[in-house]
């Protein structure tokens, strides 16, 4: 999960590093950047724990195969439809807007040093989870260990969060997921 999501935090890390450039020494700046990344990753570690608990629950109900894929097309369709529908919600839009605006996070930092950087990373991570949790559930639909699914999701998240047309991409992803979900219902 960290390998998938840390690239999307790169703009925040670069902006924060720029802010630190004149204020602190090199070692102190490095410590604050590590604290920022750690806070961000801690949120994703917590999400990963919840996803692992969900995976165990679904495996116990035989909704997931031993290969950690959905056992039936209908179960896969439910995940696709849920993820697709979430792309159009106000919560998704609000979290995506926050994630696409790392400058506002950097400008709003209260305090200084590693503790402030850690809080900033946690706050940004919470918005990021709010933005991407439903997309991460697609790992259940495509296979948790499927490298192509992992690379595709990483790319979609990066495009959605970093590129100028990312907000439109979010809706296009939603339409595609809803279409795939309906298709899986009928297959």
Q: How high is the pLDDT of residue 20?
A: 84
Q: Which residues of 97-117 are buried (b: 16+ CB within 10 A; e: fewer)?
A: ebbbebeebbeebeeeebebb
Nearest to 158 by CA among 173, 143, 139: 173
Q: Is the pLDDT of residue 80 over 90?
A: yes
Q: Is the pLDDT of residue 166 over 90?
A: no
Three-state SS string across the chain, please?
CHHHHHHHHHHHHHHHHHHHCCCCCHHHHHHHHHHHHHHHHHHHHHHHHHHHHHHHHHHHCCCECCCCCECCHHHHHHHHHHHHHHCCCHHHHHHHHHHCCHHHHHHCCCCCHHHHHHHHHHHHHHHHHHHHHHHHCHHHHHCCCCHHHHHHHHHHHHHHHHCCCHHHHHHHHHHHHHHHHHHHHHC
The encoded tokens of residue 72 equal 């039936």
Q: Is the pLDDT of residue 180 over 90?
A: yes
Distance of CA 47 to the CA centre of its chain: 9
Q: What percent of the chain shows pLDDT beyond 70? A: 99
Q: Is the pLDDT of residue 22 over 80?
A: no
Q: Is the pLDDT of residue 42 over 90?
A: yes
- More confident position, 171 or 163: 171
Q: What is the mean pLDDT of residues 110-114?
A: 87
Using 50, 70 and 90 to split pLDDT, how confident is the model at 45?
A: very high
Q: What is the mean pLDDT of residues 15-37?
A: 87
The encoded tokens of residue 142 equal 């495509």
Q: How high is the pLDDT of residue 1?
A: 73
Using 50, 70 and 90 to split pLDDT, how confident is the model at 174?
A: very high
Give residue-wise pLDDT tens across range 138-164: 999 888 888 999 999 999 999 999 888
- More confident position, 173 or 104: 173
Place of tokens 């219902």: 185
Q: How many Cβ atoms from other residues are within 10 Å of residue 61's Cβ?
A: 10
Residue spans of the domains in the chain: they are 2-186
Q: Is the pLDDT of residue 181 over 80?
A: yes
Enter the pTM of the model.
Answer: 0.91
Q: What is the mean pLDDT of residues 34-59?
A: 94
Give residue-wise pLDDT tens across range 117-136: 999 999 999 999 999 999 99
CA pair distance 37, 114, nearest whole angstrom: 11
């Amino acid at each position: 999960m960290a390998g998938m999501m840390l690239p999307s935090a790169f703009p925040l890390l670069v902006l924060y590093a720029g802010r630190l450039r004149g204020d602190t020494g090199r070692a102190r700046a490095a410590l604050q950047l590590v604290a920022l990344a750690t806070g961000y990753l801690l949120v994703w570690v917590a999400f990963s724990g919840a996803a692992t608990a969900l995976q165990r629950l679904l495996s116990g109900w035989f909704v997931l195969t031993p290969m950690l894929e959905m056992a039936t097309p209908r179960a896969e369709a439910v995940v696709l439809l849920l993820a697709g529908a979430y792309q159009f919600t106000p919560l998704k839009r609000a979290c995506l807007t926050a994630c696409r605006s790392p400058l506002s996070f950097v400008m709003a930092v209260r305090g200084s040093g590693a503790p402030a950087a850690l809080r900033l990373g946690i706050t940004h991570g919470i918005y990021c989870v709010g933005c991407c949790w439903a997309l991460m559930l697609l790992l259940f639909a495509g296979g948790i260990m499927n490298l192509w699914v992992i690379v595709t999701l990483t790319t979609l998240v990066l495009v959605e969060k970093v590129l100028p047309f990312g907000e439109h991409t979010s809706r296009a992803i939603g339409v595609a997921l809803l279409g795939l979900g309906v298709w899986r219902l009928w297959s």
